[in-house]
């Protein structure tokens, strides 16, 4: 291997390219190809998935580099949170919003928000409190209050990528929808919490500190979401008004990609949450913008976004696996094997307890609010939701680097910072490899194999059936005499309130569809707005409607 490196160096020494960078990119591209091939061969394997494959392949590659460098270094590319947050994370989150099954997502939106926001906050509080109470007993004494709060935010971020590779959207639609939605909202909530912690001054802690943290969190959460919705609607309006596809399909695809990425970068520039912005931008683009472009552009964007997301996910796991054997971090920690194991085990135990503390109680609350048995979560599914969220991934490592790398020049603090990074890496490796490999067999054991499971979304009536409910409740159609005509508006208001209390999800969905059809789609386009223009996507309405229905469902 050293001969090969020397040969490449001699070939490139007169080139304008950096030799180390070229070698690193060549190695990583080769490993990406190997991951794709191995992942294809292990597609039906019940113990493995592509995330675990990439992570293990990264560990093996790092071990080989460490061996040939005689224990000096295992790094080919250094893990950088800047590289992760600017280049790798945006395509993953955007594709998650763009490809999400919106009906499934929003039918379970209350449960997703309950787990993703309130659950993450509960987990954050318990992990932070546990770290504050236990770390000093383990000999970790140099961390301050901000560090403990950061630990809670860092370890509250789940790894939904690995989990979704073992959950089937067709066999377990309810579980897939909840775990997927919770994973994205959880990541966003964790990052927003982390950013809120970074923005506060903890030198003078008072009773208003907690209120300031909550206020900062709410501001970041809702402002970031609003910005994502705005950019998504702006892209839909521009493409619908200008109809760029009549001249070039490449331009309309390019403007979708650039505006999505621009929304993320603008959000990060003004210190908001880019992950929330780009996720909701993806949802809006799939609902409006995607239906305003040509048919060929629809197919291209659908697969292009998914491909970029897949490559970024695989690259991240390779990156994490190889960087886990960085010998410098382990040397800098100056911790014994016993201390390192104790801190890692404590963090892992806090993750287990923190997730259990909100999954089961909040699932009970969600079940209490649902009337239909098919919409409720039995204990087995609650257990799977708890287990599926135990895995930690690249977001956790990136936030850990952000908080604990080179934060102080003091040697003792630096050693404990290195200890926190290495302990976080151990938690990520253990949870991904061990919990990730057991997840698929666990689902088969608890729910059985090849058994169709019905989501609560399938229990929801059609819009026509919903209209019958309105008529039965006196909302429409019972105005045959003068008295009913005079009282129609009050009865309609009473119906709205009654239906909202008894069937909140159905009612909100129906009212949104009416508002969307009447006000939004005429301005921003979408499937319900069908203008005819030569060469437009609506030129072949049958084929496009079939494709649209598959995408929206």
Instruction: Please count the other Cβ atoms lying within 10 Å of the Cβ belonging to residue 315.
Output: 23
DSSP for 73-142 reads ---SS---HHHIIIIIHHHHHHHHHHHS-HHHHHHTHHHHHIIIIIIHHHHHHHHHHHHHHHGGGGT---
Structure tokens at 332: 């800098």
Q: What ranges do the domains of the chain cover?
A: 27-85+101-187+198-205+315-447
In tens, the pLDDT along 279-305 reads: 899 999 999 999 899 888 999 999 999
Amino acid 483: pLDDT: 45
- The single residue listed with the structure tokens 């080139």 is 15
3-state helix, strand, coil in the chain (%, to 5): 75, 0, 25
Per-residue model confidence (pLDDT) at position 211: 80
Note whether 276 and 222 are within 8 A (CB).
no
SS3 per residue for 310-379:
HHHHHHHHHHHHHHCCCHHHHHHHCCCHHHHHHHHHHHHHHHHHHHHHHHHHHHHHHHHHCCCHHHCCCH
Count Cβ atoms below 10 Å from residue 220 Cβ, excluding itself. 23
Q: What's the pLDDT score for residue 479?
A: 45
Give how far Cα 377 sits from Cα of 282, 359, 440, Å.
Answer: 28, 11, 19
| Tokens matching residue 486 | 């005079």
Q: Do 111 and 100 form a contact (C-beta atoms < 8 A)?
A: no
May I ask the CATH class of domain 27-85+101-187+198-205+315-447? mainly alpha
The alpha carbons of the chain give a radius of gyration, in whole angstroms, of: 26
Rounded CA gap, 173 and 159, in Å? 19
Provide block-wise average pLDDT over 10 residues at a time, the chain (553 residues): 49 57 82 87 73 84 78 66 83 86 78 89 94 89 87 87 65 78 83 83 70 82 92 93 84 93 91 86 92 90 90 85 76 78 93 94 86 77 88 84 66 71 89 83 74 42 45 44 45 54 67 84 72 43 40 41
Give the tens place of pLDDT for each residue, 34-55: 988 988 887 777 677 777 888 8
Tokens of 145: 């209050």
**Residue pointed to by tokens 């290195």:** 418
């Amino acid at each position: 291997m050293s001969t090969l490196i020397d040969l490449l160096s001699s070939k490139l020494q007169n080139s304008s390219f950096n030799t180390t960078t070229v070698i690193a990119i060549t190695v990583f591209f080769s490993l990406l190809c190997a991951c794709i091939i191995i992942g294809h061969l292990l597609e039906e394997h019940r113990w493995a998935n592509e995330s675990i494959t990439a992570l293990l392949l990264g560990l093996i590659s790092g071990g080989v580099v460490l061996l040939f460098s005689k224990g000096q270094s295992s790094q080919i590319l250094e893990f950088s949170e800047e590289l992760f947050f600017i280049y790798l994370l945006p395509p993953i989150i955007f594709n998650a919003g763009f490809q999400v099954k919106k009906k499934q997502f929003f039918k379970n939106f209350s449960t997703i928000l309950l787990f993703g926001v309130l659950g993450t906050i509960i987990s954050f509080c318990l992990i932070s409190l546990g770290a504050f109470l236990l770390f000093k007993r383990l000999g970790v004494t140099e961390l301050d209050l901000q560090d403990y709060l950061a630990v809670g935010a860092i370890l509250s971020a789940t790894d939904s990528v690995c989990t979704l590779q073992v959950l089937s959207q067709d066999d377990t639609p309810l579980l897939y929808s909840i775990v997927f939605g919770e994973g994205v909202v959880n990541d966003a909530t964790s990052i927003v919490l982390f950013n809120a912690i970074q923005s506060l001054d903890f030198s003078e802690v008072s009773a208003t500190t907690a209120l300031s943290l909550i206020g900062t969190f709410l501001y970041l959460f809702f402002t970031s979401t609003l910005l994502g919705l705005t950019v998504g609607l702006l892209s839909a309006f521009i493409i619908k008004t200008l109809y760029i596809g009549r001249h070039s399909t490449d331009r309309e695809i390019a403007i979708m990609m650039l505006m999505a990425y621009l929304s993320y970068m603008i959000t990060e520039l003004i210190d908001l949450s880019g992950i929330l912005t780009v996720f909701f931008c993806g949802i809006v683009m799939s609902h409006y913008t995607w239906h305003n472009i040509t048919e060929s552009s629809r197919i291209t964007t659908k697969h292009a976004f998914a491909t970029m997301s897949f490559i970024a996910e695989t690259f991240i796991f390779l990156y994490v696996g190889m960087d886990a054997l960085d010998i410098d971090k382990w040397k800098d920690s100056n911790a014994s094997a016993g201390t390192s194991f104790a801190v890692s085990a404590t963090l892992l135990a806090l993750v287990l307890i923190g997730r259990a503390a909100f999954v089961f109680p909040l699932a009970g609350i969600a079940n209490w609010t649902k009337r239909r048995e098919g919409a409720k979560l039995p204990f087995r599914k609650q257990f799977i939701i708890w287990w599926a969220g135990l895995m930690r991934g690249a977001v956790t490592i990136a936030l850990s680097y952000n908080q604990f790398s080179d934060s102080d020049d003091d040697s003792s603090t630096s050693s404990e910072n290195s200890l926190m990074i290495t302990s976080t890496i151990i938690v990520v490796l253990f949870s991904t490899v061990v919990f990730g490999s057991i997840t698929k067999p666990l689902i088969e054991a608890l729910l059985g194999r090849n058994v169709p499971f019905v989501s609560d979304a399938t229990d929801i009536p059609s819009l026509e059936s919903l209209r019958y409910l309105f008529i039965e409740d006196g909302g429409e159609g019972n105005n045959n005499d003068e008295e009913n005509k005079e009282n129609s508006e009050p009865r309609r208001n009473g119906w709205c309130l009654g239906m909202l209390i008894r069937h909140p999800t159905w009612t909100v969905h129906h009212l949104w569809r009416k508002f969307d059809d009447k006000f939004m789609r005429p301005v921003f386009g979408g499937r319900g707005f069908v203008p005819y223009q030569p060469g437009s996507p609506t030129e072949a309405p049958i084929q496009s409607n079939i494709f649209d229905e598959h995408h929206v469902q």
